[in-house]
Structure 1
């Protein structure tokens, strides 16, 4: 039991925040335009999910993001996201985002009254398996010296 609690604590610390300061800002317009529209996260998977909890984007447990709705506007790199799952925190926020030439998705979750340029912290995830109706965002983290991937599976909403 102590090991499970330790792993949970480590996962919460290690997945809590990533800086966007080291990212390339040259945009991948094709990837961005393909993301334009409304999306739903259909699953969040990672090795050891039965033992550890991941606090996604410092908002809620990663499983609370299953069913969350996301809107991406590619011409101004804005949008919004909302958690909609029963028995999870109610959360909705504007976002700013872009995809760079390195295949990195850079995300800032904004407060309603704060402009994006004043938000200094954000998240960098890798874009994978992008099609017309689906894509994945992959976050890397370290648990007990092992790198794990947290995979957010997006499906286009109707």
Structure 2
């Protein structure tokens, strides 16, 4: 009986001392990353869960301004760049750092001029979906009143 109680107490202590885990897994999905390598264009931005609303994506511009934006992903060092160039939208470009984790999340940071990723405190976690050799989607969530909606960025591979 004493041995059983001792084992139960030790089990509880072991669980209580479990180290905290990161909110975003850093275990990489190398296959997904290799499929993203190259030059891409966002062909559309759609809203799921709400008909019409306005979203400022990544604290940069209206989400519709991301249509026609150009993205380059380098998989061997998880860097890249993006350029907004849609008519009637402000031009914008940034270096990025990114990775795809085993949970199916695309984790990305926009890098300010002269700052490294480790000195950039915030980033974005989007779900990756419907990935093929020539297209994939990044899905973000946005609050719409008391509900939430998904913003779906459709990427298409550019031919070289």
**Matching of residue 23 in structure 1 with residue 10 in structure 2:** no
Q: Deviations over 1:29-77 (max 9, x none)?
A: 0000000000000000004353x20000000000000000000000000
**Matching of residue 120 in structure 1 with residue 121 in structure 2:** yes
Match of 2:43 in 1: 42
State the 1:102 CA deviation. Answer: 0.2
Shift >4 Å, 4+ stretches = none
Match of 2:58 in 1: 57
Computing the radius of gyration over CA atoms, which structure comes out larger, 1 or 2?
Answer: 2
* Gap regions ≥5 residues in structure 2: 1-21
Match of 2:141 in 1: 140
State the 1:142 CA deviation. Answer: 2.2
Q: TM-score, normalised by structure 1?
A: 0.84
Tell me the C-alpha RMSD between the 2 structures.
Answer: 1.1
C-alpha separation in 1, matches of 2:143 and 2:93: 28
Q: Secondary structure at the match of 1:46?
A: strand
Q: Secondary structure at the match of 1:154?
A: strand
C-alpha separation in 1, matches of 2:23 and 2:121: 12
State the 1:79 CA deviation. Answer: 0.3
C-alpha separation in 2, matches of 1:108 and 1:36: 17
Q: TM-score, normalised by structure 2?
A: 0.83
* Gap regions ≥5 residues in structure 1: 1-20
Between Structure 1 and Structure 2, how many residues are aligned?
137
